[in-house]
Structures are given as structure tokens and as C-alpha cells.
Amino acid sequence: MSGRTSQTAADGVLRSVVADALASALIVVAILLLVFGGAALARPKLTYEAGKVVGLSNLSTDEGCLPAKLAGRVVKRAFGRDGLYLESIIVEERSGQRTFINIEDGDRNLDAATNGAVKQSFETMLSVGKPVSLRVLGCGAAARMLSLDAVRSL
């Protein structure tokens, strides 16, 4: 009987060691995904002319969405609760149709210089009254939720 108890105890210890090793391996994988997963996020590309940003691209992290282009004037913009980062804009096309567009800003893991350049570019290029050419990604049901992927001053 004691031999059987020893074997059961040994099985319990073995299971505990395996469970601890598996938990440690999962933690390492999670950390690696956090560290290297950031590279999969959108990294904005800034286009310069005469030392001034005239275009931004690769702005959206949405995958599997439908791309579309539109041009018009910014008629309204909204900032997040902090009042610092642009959250959305409304663009009016020549036809008079208005379109609501979400903006991913301030949530990226960018260096301070790039983050500042993107923020300033959004604020100047997407100010009310400015004509712009946009590339948006339509996501969700019938691609109705639009996210800004690229902007260029006109």
C-alpha cells in the first residue's frame, strides 16, 4: 500500500512540475507577443515636401477591412476626453455628402518625435476648412465604420 501512495505522490509532484513549466512557457510567450507584437501595429509614414508634412499613410491598425478613397473639406473634428488627440473628423464631399471618419491617434507605441510629428500633422492637415484627399478603411457590418488610413493635403 505504501508503494502505491509513493507512486501517487510522485505523480502529483510530476504533474505540478509540468504545470509550472507550462505556465512559465506561456508567460514567456505572452511577453514575447507583447514585445514583438507592437511591430505589427500601424507605423505611420510621413511624406514631406519643402520640409513640411503633406501626407500621412499607414495610419490604421484595422485588418481585413475594405479600402476606399474620398476627397473633400474637413467640416468638423472631435478630440478625445483629454482634449489633445484627434478622435474623429467629418468630411464634406463636393456632392454635399458628409462622412464620419474615426482616427487612431495617441494610442501607438511611437517614439516621441514621430508621435509629435503625427499629432501636429493631424492638427494642421485636418483642421476645419482644409481640403484633403483620404484613404479610409471600411470595417464592420457593410463596411460602415470608417477609419482613416492615409491623408494628403490638397
76 forms beta bridges with 90
Residue 96 in this model has a pLDDT that exceeds 60: yes
Q: What is the pLDDT of residues 38-81, one digit of tens each?
A: 444 568 888 888 988 899 999 887 778 999 999 999 999 999 89
Q: What is the mean pLDDT of residues 133-143?
A: 90
Beta bridge partners of 45: 57
pTM: 0.68
Please tell me the predicted confidence (pLDDT) of residue 4. Answer: 60
C-alpha cell at 91: 468630411
Residue 7 to residue 13: CA distance in whole angstroms: 10
* Separation in Å, CA 24 to CA 16, 32, 56: 12, 12, 41
Q: Cell 509629435 belongs to which residue?
A: 116
CA-nearest of 119, 135, 147 to 63 is: 147
Lowest mean pLDDT among 20-29, 117-126, 132-141: 20-29
Q: What is the pLDDT of residue 39?
A: 42
pLDDT, mean of residues 104-129: 83
Mean pLDDT of the chain: 83
* 3-class DSSP assignment, residue 38: helix
98 vs 76, 108, 139, CA distance in Å? 10, 28, 18
